């Protein structure tokens, strides 16, 4: 019972963090929406999504570095290992996306392909941001 009382605040914090980050639209998403609204043709949308990919990648790297600076040596080593595995996963997933979308005809699939790639990086960036938030809350 005592363990459940300790876990409850952590579970609530994780739930709140996920819900809160999903409710609030990230600046990168807002900028992407505005860019696509101004450039609604295929090439324009791809350029907008490529810019968003670069920004999400920068966000991912930012929170990875911030998180690494907050972790003890063992935890940092574990995160580094996980990140290397994630990079391998990401590379394979990008290949898979290319393979799947290369079989589809129609220009509408081109932005969809880039959006799928962006979503992989965005998801990891938000995950690292949430982890960093948890570590910073614990440190206070």
The answer to whether 56 touches 125, Cβ cutoff 8 Å, is yes
Return the pLDDT at 24: 78
Return the pLDDT at 23: 60
Return the pLDDT at 137: 81
Q: For residue 33, give both structure tokens.
A: 């929406």
Find the farthest-apart pair of alpha carbons in the chain and give their distance in angstroms, rounded. Answer: 58
Return the pLDDT at 11: 41
Return the pLDDT at 22: 53
Reported in sequence order, the residue ranges of the chain that DSSP labels E, i.e. its strands, are: none
Nearest to residue 123, comparing CAs of 43, 26, 31? 26
Give the sign of the dihedral formed by CA 32, CA 36, CA 37, CA 38: positive
User: Mean pLDDT per 10-residue run, the chain (140 residues)?
Assistant: 44 47 81 94 96 98 97 96 98 98 94 97 97 82
Return the pLDDT at 55: 98
């Amino acid at each position: 019972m005592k363990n459940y009382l300790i876990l409850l605040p952590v579970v609530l914090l994780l739930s709140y963090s996920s819900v809160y980050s999903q409710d609030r639209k990230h600046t990168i998403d807002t900028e992407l929406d505005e860019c696509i609204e101004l450039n609604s043709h295929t090439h324009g949308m791809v350029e907008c999504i490529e810019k968003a990919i670069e920004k999400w990648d920068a966000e991912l790297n930012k929170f990875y570095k911030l998180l690494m600076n907050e972790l003890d040596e063992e935890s940092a080593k574990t995160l580094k290992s996980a990140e290397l595995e994630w990079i391998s996963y990401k590379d394979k997933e990008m290949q898979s996306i290319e393979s799947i979308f290369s079989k589809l005809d129609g220009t509408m699939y081109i932005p969809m392909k880039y959006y799928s790639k962006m979503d992989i990086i965005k998801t990891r960036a938000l995950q690292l941001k949430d982890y960093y938030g948890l570590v910073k809350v614990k440190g206070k």
